[in-house]
Amino acid sequence: MVDKTTAVVIGVSAGVVAAVLAAACVFLAIWLYRRRARVATRTRSMESSTVTLRDGPSSLASSVSISVVSESVADWAPPPEKRAAFWAWRGGGHNGRESPLSVSGIPKYHYKDLQKATSNFTTILGQGSFGPVYKAVMATGEVVAVKVLASDSSQGEREFQTEVALLSRLHHRNLVNLVGYCVEKGQRILIYEFMSNGSLARLLYGDNKRSLSWQERLQIAHDISHGIEYLHEGAVPPVIHRDLKSDNILLDHSMKAKVADFGLSKEEVYDGRKSGLKGTYGYMDPDYMSTNKFTKKSDVYSFGIILFELITGINPQQGLMEYINLAAIGAGDGRVDWGEILDKDLLVGNIPEEVRMLADVAYRCINKSPRKRPWISEVTQAISRLRQRQLMKHDRLTLARCETRTVLKRIEHQHLELSDLTSMKELTPVMGMSLF
């Protein structure tokens, strides 16, 4: 009997041990799976180790890259197998052949076609940190912009990969559309829709700058806010641009504004790591510069600077913040008098109240504390209300003009009738005399 009891106890104990071991194996498998998932997330995080400080919007060629030691290249570099899968080429590979592959449905262009469309790359439009940009007329008659990676670009390859990866899934009327790409003959080329009116910076500060009406400026601000709102709240996962500036706001033939240049953008991934400094001097969030933590509110800060550019016409590299701070110091009753720093082109006639209201919105966007800045959706709503207000005012003025024209026409008609009556009275005696 004792032997049977001992056997039962041993059997039960063995079963319990086996169950514990099985459970431990299951937990270990789950832990390894989650660990691999975290590693994959870190791998996808697109962080680089440079900060680009540009001297000014109109001098993109004078950009300077400063190394940042907060990250190493190994922290963000994708594994070789993923790079190979993305590019689908190795500069000839082992057998000397190139086998480019279309990425996420984005068409791949042939180098010889782009060479012909740009007259052997002579139709240059401008020069950026990525490389030169050319105007191209394709065989189909389509006009596009061709951006070529400069051979000495320190981070261009990564920016190229980022733009293709992001713009293959981001589509919005206020984002510049990526038409295609090319990775032949050792070249990395991006093809975009052609924006005939160039950049906002060129319109505000370029050699051939033009005077923008208040209606145009408000529409541009509205378009930009919609593009950023899509990145922050419409894209899944959300995308932070990280280099919003007037140089990266392009305008088409109808003056519709679109956000461009996603080379420094990244998906919003909360992995606990600090980001290396990236952006353009004059537009960078001070909190980001001190903490290395870039958030959506950092994009909001950059957009606030762009709004002040639209309002003042002052270049951020030429003391814009000093002018803003001086105007804010004089605010005694809590309301800032922005009249002193408004663009002189907006000072013709009565200064629209909407200009001051937009300046108040912009000032909230550049608050030193990110927590006190509005979300981009709140900024978009505020600008939409300003546009609605401006449109209603325009409709009232139009109606008043129409009513004035109607009244003038009636007066003119009555004047003609009175003239006819006067003429008839003058003719009546003459006719009477002829009867005798």
* Distance from C-alpha of 391 to C-alpha of 398, rounded to nearest angstrom: 10
Catalytic residue among 152, 223, 243, 285: 243
Nearest Cα to Cα of residue 272 among 11, 42, 37: 42
How many residues appear in the chain?
436
Note whether 285 and 297 are within 8 A (CB).
yes
CA angle (407 as vertex; 401, 412 as ends), nearest 5: 125
Cα four-point dihedral sign 326, 329, 334, 337:
negative
Q: Is the peptide bond before 80 cis (omega within 30 degrees of 0)?
A: no
Active site residue 243: yes
What tokens were used for 1? 């009997």
Dist. CA 368–CA 286, nearest whole Å: 7
Main-chain dihedrals φ then ψ at residue 150, nearest 5 degrees: -70, 145
Radius of gyration of the chain (CA): 32
Report the alpha-carbon distance of residue 252 to residue 174 in Å, rounded: 10
Contact predicate 244/278, CB 8 Å: no
Contacts of 205 (CB under 8 A, 6+ apart): 57, 58, 315
**Phi and psi angles of residue 371, each rounded to the nearest 5 degrees, phi first:** -65, -25
Catalytic sites, residue numbers: 243
